[in-house]
Amino acid sequence: MEMTSDFKIIEEPKKTLSMHPQKFALWLFMITVVMVFAALTSAYIVRQAEGNWLVFELPQTFWYSTALIAVSSITMHWAYLAAKKDNLDMVKVAIIITTILGLLFTAAQYHGWKVLAEEGYHFVGNNVSVSFLIVLVGLHVVHLVSGMIVLLVSLVSTFKYKVHSKNLNRLQMCMTYWHFLGGLWIYLFIFLLLNHN
Amino acid sequence: MATADIHITEGGHDHDHDHHGNFWTTYVFSTDHKMIAKQYLLTGIFWALIGGTLSVIFRLQLGFPDADISWLEPLLGKWITEQGKLDPEFYLALVTMHGTIMVFFVLTAGLSGTFSNFLIPLQIGARDMASGFMNMLSYWAFFLSSVVMFISLFIETGPASGGWVIYPPLSALPQAVSGSGLGMTLWLVAMALFIVSQLLGGVNYIATVINMRTHGMSFSKLPLTIWAFFLTAVIGLLSFPVLLSAALLLIFDRSFGTSFYLSDIYIGGEALPNQGGSPVLFQHLFWFLGHPEVYIVLLPALGITSEVVATNSRKPIFGYKAMVGSMLFIAILSFVVWAHHMFVSGMNPFLGSVFMLLTLIIAVPSAVKVFNYLTTLWRGNLRFTPAMLFAIGLVSFFISGGLTGIFLGNSAIDIQLHDTYFVVAHFHLVMGSASFFGMMCGIYHWFPKMFGRMMDNRLGYIHFWLTFAGVYMVFFPMHYIGIAGYPRRYYSFTNFDTLNSFSDLNMFVSIAAIITFSAQVIFIFNFFHSIWRGRKATANPWESNTLEWTTPVVPGHGNWPGEIPKVYRWPYDYSKPGSKEDFIPQHIPFSMTPESNLPHENEMIKLEKEEGVNVVVVDDRKGH
Ligand code: HEM
Ligand SMILES: [Cu+2]
């Protein structure tokens, strides 16, 4: 809604505030995701306070996955900057790298679960603290997969020349969502670190 | 999500004649907000009939525990025992499904879905919702959810039976009650779809209200209906995801063997493997949604009735800002009172007293709203249309039901009253009946805009009086039954010596419930008959100020054939001193009403003249 209209007549009613509707909807969607995780992490704290709570080492891999997702945010941003300069080949490369980093992240999370399982901490049968960890990590990965689908959609539109400096909205939304998913993981990781001793 | 598109082009072309859609795109997979609203309305009415029927069946059991009801066998099949009695487990299923259907499918989807969809674009001056496609998805997710929930009524093991609040361990273990088997699974699937539908709808309502208001429609000029729908959507957006999380953990407990909510359970002397879970955790998560949910149900009804009361009192709404403020305050507070449902769950009494305080604070904005209604009605030129009567009925229920909330909000008194019929009386008046009346009020009032015809007034009056009297006859006695200690969700009281003093009252309640339910047939007849045979409506039959009445009698696709009207004033200029008419719609500029303008309104016109320019052409075509 880039229109500008300057009114000369005072009584002529003002144009009301308005934003890009899809970007706005994306923000609302992210709020709902935040609420899902807010609920789960609060449940975690409430349950932990009741005692009978098993403490175990977080798998080392979570540090690597954190690094991976942080780097992927940078490459995502790189894609966006490249699109601003109409450097479409660079956009494609950057999106592909971001997606690969996303896949690596997913694999790292999966590996983390496996490490836990090898140490004898399973989703079912141990303490709820393990189940909580797995639900938090798993649900985040589910969202990340949706993020990778958005990445692929953006990649396809780049190939179709639908992403360029005059048409950045889609890529911008993709970037917002990806940064959000990275931030969400970092929140979860810090939360787990802080509540794990 | 990224594919959602906005089809809005301003300007007079091609909106006055209907788009050449076929049957499927016009009536079924429609993206038009008005059609989607009607779809919600019809589905809501369908569910209301089902939910009402269920309640009549269990009221038969409660009122006439000794009667032989084998005549219901054709309908209920094996749920009627050989002695001609209702199966006790099926009784629980009936109560559960009644609650679920009424709270979620009728008063959430049916009410918000119908009126937010119908009124938001029409009252803020928009061609449609921010995303018609998402709106359609929202309805179809609701439809799918309805199908799943409906199927669950007919399965062998019976529908979910753990109460609409689905507390574990009851809801988690099929050994506890047979409805916790497949029935509960279907319940969870249906509710997950339902939540998706609500979130899609809510995102749309919020995005539309914020971004698509017509020129001049500032927040301070929004009709109270829109404020109410907007806040409802915000509450839903923040609370439904929490229910989703709660349900997710329950699903893991039920199907994967985790122990989020389960611990130390022995069945038939044998211990279950689940250890370390906390059922109270579920209650916290559930009521974090559950309490806001009751306001999700009520706020739209409050918005609708505010509008109708102002219109039919021919008076400006009293204290517009106070109304907005109290709704805002209620919306915020609704997130911090959830534990008043858990006073007797064994939680820390100190925490209980904090929640008691917060709960009682809610009474303040609620009372403000009541006074606003009463002062708007006070010395108005009241026009008792059926919609107006239903609005006044809502005010009555809001008062009588709200008062009992103050009792329940006291954690000490709640020890006696919790889970008795007193609670049932409380929330059926303040939530159930009040919202139901809000919905009826909305239907009678906006029927002409929806279908281009009028509903029959006389039938409307009969419907109102029977329902109004019926509601009080059903729910008022329940206060006494509750104070006497009758617990809710009991199949029968005949085995308890202390609890057989009120059998006659229970019988009375049941008869009243049957009469009240039957009275709804009058409404159904009136509704469907009027769609095809009603008196033709005019464009603004109630002489109302809001923008929807500036559309043609039946607005087509895009709502306004020409340009969208602009808004110059608030929606409540009724009986303005000096004005010839007793209403001045929102799109009339002050320069056209010099006789009734207030000094500061005249200021605006002066400025207009000084500028000396008359016409401003606004090119509003949006760049895609
Ligand atoms: C003056 C304001 C209100 C107060 C102080 C209040 C307080 C309470 C309390 C303390 C309970 C729990 C009782 C128990 O289970 O022992 C309760 C139950 C309930 N209230 Fe209210 N309430 C108020 C207004 C409302 C409103 C406006 C609604 C709906 C629109 C509502 C809907 C409900 C429902 C649905 C339940 C019962 C849920 C269930 O257990 O199935 N209340 N109320
Ligand atoms: Cu409550």
pLDDT score, position B502: 87
Contacts of B4 in chain A (CB under 8 A): 22, 25
Chain B's closest residue to A20, CA to CA, is B211
State the distance from the centre of ligand 2 to the C-alpha of B178, rounded, in angstroms.
29
Token pair for A20: 């890009």
Q: What is the Cα–Cα distance from B550 to B561, expressed in whole angstroms?
A: 10
Beta bridge partners of B453: B536
Per-residue pLDDT, averaged over B162-179, amounts to: 93
Question: Are the beta carbons of A124 and B240 separated by less than 8 Å?
Answer: no
Contact between chains at B212 and A2 (C-beta distance less than 8 A):
no
Sequence letter at residue A144: L
For B167: left if phi > 0, alpha if psi spans -120 to 50, otherwise beta; the answer is: beta
For residue A1, pLDDT over 60 is answered with no
Q: Examine the pLDDT at A3 and tell me if it is beyond 80.
A: no
Q: Which chain residues have CB less than 5 Å from ligand 2, an ion? A: B 291
* Confidence (pLDDT) at B22: 78
Backbone dihedral angles phi then psi of residue A85, each to the nearest 5 degrees: -95, 10
- Give which of A115, A153, A159 is closest to A133, Cα–Cα: A115
Q: How far apart are CA A153 and CA A156, in angstroms?
A: 5
What is the C-alpha to C-alpha distance for residues A20 and B237, in angstroms, rounded to an integer? Answer: 19
B188 touches chain A (CB under 8 A): no
Going from N- to C-terminal start, the domains of chain A cover 78-197
User: Residues A10-61: pLDDT tens digits?
Assistant: 456 667 767 787 889 999 999 999 999 999 999 999 899 888 888 888 999 9
Residues within 6 Å of ligand 1 by CB: B 165, 294-295, 297-298, 340-341, 359, 362-363, 366, 402, 405-406, 408-409, 414, 417-418, 423, 426-427, 430-431
Hey, what CATH topology would domain A78-197 get? Four Helix Bundle (Hemerythrin (Met), subunit A) (1.20.120)
Query: What is residue B214's DSSP assignment?
Result: P
Q: A12 C-alpha to center of ligand 2: Å?
A: 45
What mean pLDDT, rounded, does chain B reach? 90
At CA A95, angle to CA A34 and CA A176, rounded to 5?
A: 25
Cα–Cα distance list, B228 to A49, B119, B206, B376 (Å): 38, 11, 11, 18
Q: Taking the domains of chain B in order of start, what are their residue ranges? A: 2-13+29-533
Nearest to B258 among A3, A131, A173 (CB): A131
Interchain proximity B623–A14, CB inside 8 Å: no
C-beta atoms surrounding B450 within 10 Å: 19
CATH for the B2-13+29-533 domain, from 1.20.210.10, 1.10.287.3510, 3.40.50.620, 3.40.50.150: 1.20.210.10
Structure confidence at residue B605 (pLDDT): 75
The residues pairing with B271 across neighbouring beta strands, listed in sequence order, are B266
- What residues of chain B lie within 8 A of the CB of A168, using their CB? none
Ligand 1 atom 40 nearest Cα: B341
Most ligand 1 atoms within 8 A of CB, residue of B96, B101, B427, B428 to mutate: B427
Q: Do A25 and B203 touch (CB under 8 A)?
A: yes
pLDDT tens-digit readout, B202-259: 999 999 999 999 998 999 999 999 999 999 999 999 999 999 999 999 999 999 989 9
Pocket residue to mutate for ligand 1, from B100, B355, B431, B439, most atoms within 8 A of Cβ: B431
Neighbours of B79 (CB within 10 A): 18
- Kindly provide the ipTM of the predicted complex, given to two decimals: 0.90
Band (B21; pLDDT cuts 50, 70, 90): low
- Asked whether B276 and B263 are in contact (CB, 8 A), the reply is yes
Instruction: Among the bound ligands, name the one nearest to the CA of residue B330.
Output: 1
Contact yes or no for A10 and B613 at CB 8 A: no
Looking at residue B398, its amino acid is: F
Partner A contacted by B249 (CB < 8 A): yes
Predicted pLDDT at B4: 37
Residue B8 has pLDDT above 70, yes or no: no
Token output for B616: 């401003």
| Alpha-carbon gap, residue A89 to A86, rounded angstroms | 9
Residue B220's closest chain A neighbor by CA? A16
Q: Name residue B501's beta-bridge partners.
A: none
Interface check for A40 against chain B (CB to CB < 8 A): the answer is yes
| A69-118: pLDDT as tens digits | 999 999 999 999 999 999 999 999 999 999 999 999 999 999 999 999 99
Cα B621 to Cα A1, A143, B4, distances in angstroms: 9, 36, 19
Strand partners, B80: B86
Tell me the average pLDDT across B475-480: 96
Contact (CB, 8 A) for B362 and B337? yes
Q: What is the pLDDT of residues B361-415, one digit of tens each?
A: 999 999 999 999 999 999 899 999 999 999 999 999 999 999 999 999 999 999 9
The residue among B137, B263, B37 whose CA lies nearest residue A127 is B263
Percent of chain B at pLDDT > 70 equals 94
Residue whose tokens read 């003249």: B609
CA distances from B44 to B52, B326, B531 (A): 12, 28, 17
List % helix, strand, coil for chain B (3-state, nearest 5). 65, 0, 35
Residues B422-460 pLDDT 10s: 999 999 999 999 999 999 999 999 999 999 999 999 999
Q: Are strands B270-271 and B266-267 parallel, antiparallel or unpaired?
A: antiparallel
Q: Tell me how far apart the alpha carbons of residues B313 and B322 are, in angstroms, rounded to a whole number.
A: 18
Give the Cα separation of A24 and A28 in Å (integer).
6
Size of the A and B interface in Cβ pairs below 8 Å: 163
Chain B nearest CA to A40, separation (Å): 7
Backbone angles phi, psi at B449, to 5 degrees: -75, -30
Does the distance separating the beta carbons of A139 and B248 come in below 8 Å? yes
In chain B, which residues have their Cβ closer than 8 Å to the Cβ of A170? 2
Side-chain half-sphere CA neighbours of B101 within 13 A: 29
CA distance A92 to B400: 64
